Amino acid sequence: MDLTVLKESRPGENRVALSPAVVQSLVKAGHKIQVEKDAGLGSAFTNEAYQAAGAEVTDGTGLYEADLFLMVNPPEAAQAERFKKGSALMSFIYAAQNQELMDVLKGNDMTAFAMEEVPRISRAQSMDALSSQANLAGYKAVILGAEHLSRIFPLMMTAAGTVTPAKILIFGAGVAGLQAIATAKRLGAVVEVSDVRPETKEQVESLGGKFIEVKADNAVQVEGGYAKEVSAEFLQKQKEAVEKSLFQADLVITTALVRGGKAPVLITPEQVEKMKYGSVIVDMAVEQGGNCGLSEAGQVVEKHGVKIIGATNLPSTLATNASELYAKNIQNLFSHLADEKGFKYDMEDEITTGCMVNRGSNTSTNQPQS
């Protein structure tokens, strides 16, 4: 198949859809790959590295004649209009928030595979880009918090006295939260964790964190690893259980998201007023509305002596590793969906139907043989 890797158009985005290592693997498998000139520079992948891997590096019009277009972020609608009719797209798409793009893809009779819709099942773990990117984001959130904090993380005993360890509170024990716990513990901090899903307690404790438990029966509904619905009573109980830790914390990291909806507000402006002067909040959910009522996307603001970091696109700040992992996710999903003859379009496969957010008319032309 002919594959094209396009340069990202999102401002500040440093990632790229394929690494040279994965390009080399796909070329060996018989695929032809074009990479838009300079697409990998933000990830420290040079044009020469792609050429050595077997790709054609170009900025010509031939880029838009591929069978499959690969990106990290959703393409702009105007860019998608240039894609070859009947081709396919594989990237993060967020269809519900990008109706104009979806209209263009439908008009171009394109099949679209959304990386964020890959089912979170065991056999799709190697294709799960949300998890691979969240893992890195959780690590970077701790490093970012440490940079803005006016104290160190570990216990330190010196001739001048003992420095007590920093106290860190993490909201959410998903992939990002668990990596944040592990990173903070490695740096020597005391870590407490709050999550509405009681089943995460064992994972938190296995990493050395203290789980703040809230007792409630059937108060939380979980779907696809996300909290889908949480009762108001439970949220109030959680708020009361967490407040003592919140007001004593040096660093707070929030990671809580609701699938397909606005992120829940877990730290109110009134609570920020009661936090320690000089403490720091890293709000990783700010692009979905934010877990802190005072956070601003892409900004560091100070309120009542508390620094609040509206952390956006943290994986892009670790672009080399983020692109390497994302490229493997793409490769594994592509290998599952296609063979040497093209896409299989097995519409009885949970992974295929889960991530296919638009179905072109050509999806019935290459059904797998029984």
275 and 264 within one domain: yes
Question: Is residue 369 a part of any domain in this protein?
Answer: no
Q: Is 288 a catalytic residue?
A: no
pLDDT of residue 223: 57
pLDDT in tens, 159-202: 999 999 999 999 999 999 999 999 999 999 999 999 988 899 99
199 and 76 within one domain: no
Q: Which of 15, 128, 238, 283 is catalytic?
A: 128
313 and 257 within one domain: yes
- Residue 154 near residue 109, CB atoms below 8 Å: no
62 and 149 within one domain: no
293 and 174 within one domain: yes
E strand or H helix that includes residue 2: strand 2-5
253 and 359 within one domain: no
Q: Is 15 a catalytic residue?
A: no
pLDDT of residue 367: 44
211 and 270 within one domain: yes
Averaged pLDDT, 211-237: 69
Q: Which of 38, 64, 94, 120 is catalytic?
A: 120
Question: Is residue 286 a part of any domain in this protein?
Answer: yes
- Residue 83 near residue 64, CB atoms below 8 Å: yes
305 and 204 within one domain: yes
| Cα three-residue angle 172-211-242, rounded to 5 degrees | 70
**Tally of CA atoms within 13 A in the half-sphere of 171 that contains its CB:** 30
Which CATH number covers residue 232? 3.40.50.720
Domain tally for the chain? 2
pLDDT exceeds cutoff 50 at 21: yes
Closest by CA to 153, choosing from 162, 165, 169, is 165
pLDDT exceeds cutoff 50 at 369: no
Question: Is residue 227 a part of any domain in this protein?
Answer: yes
pLDDT exceeds cutoff 50 at 305: yes
Closest by CA to 177, choosing from 149, 197, 147, is 197
pLDDT exceeds cutoff 70 at 225: no
pLDDT exceeds cutoff 60 at 228: no
Question: Is residue 347 a part of any domain in this protein?
Answer: yes
Phi, psi of 288 (to 5 degrees): -105, 25
350 and 223 within one domain: no
Place of tokens 């799709």: 124
Q: Provide the token pair at 304.
A: 């009542």
Which residues are registered as beta bridge partners of 234? none
335 and 238 within one domain: no
Question: Is residue 25 a part of any domain in this protein?
Answer: yes
Confidence class for position 368, pLDDT limits 50, 70, 90: very low
Q: What percent of the chain has pLDDT over 70?
A: 94
pLDDT in tens, 108-162: 999 999 999 999 999 999 999 999 999 999 999 999 999 999 999 999 999 999 9
pLDDT in tens, 342-357: 898 899 999 999 999 9
Q: What is the pTM of this model?
A: 0.92
Q: Which of 2, 226, 248, 288 is catalytic?
A: 226
Q: Is 128 a catalytic residue?
A: yes
Question: Is residue 309 a part of any domain in this protein?
Answer: yes
Question: Is residue 370 a part of any domain in this protein?
Answer: no
Domain extent at residue 58:
2-127+318-364
Strand extents, DSSP E, 71-198:
88-91, 111-114, 156-158, 161-163, 167-171, 190-194
pLDDT of residue 219: 56
Q: Which of 131, 132, 238, 331 is catalytic?
A: 131
Q: Which of 9, 97, 99, 125 is catalytic?
A: 125
121 and 159 within one domain: no
Give dist(CA 13, CA 276) in Å, integer: 34
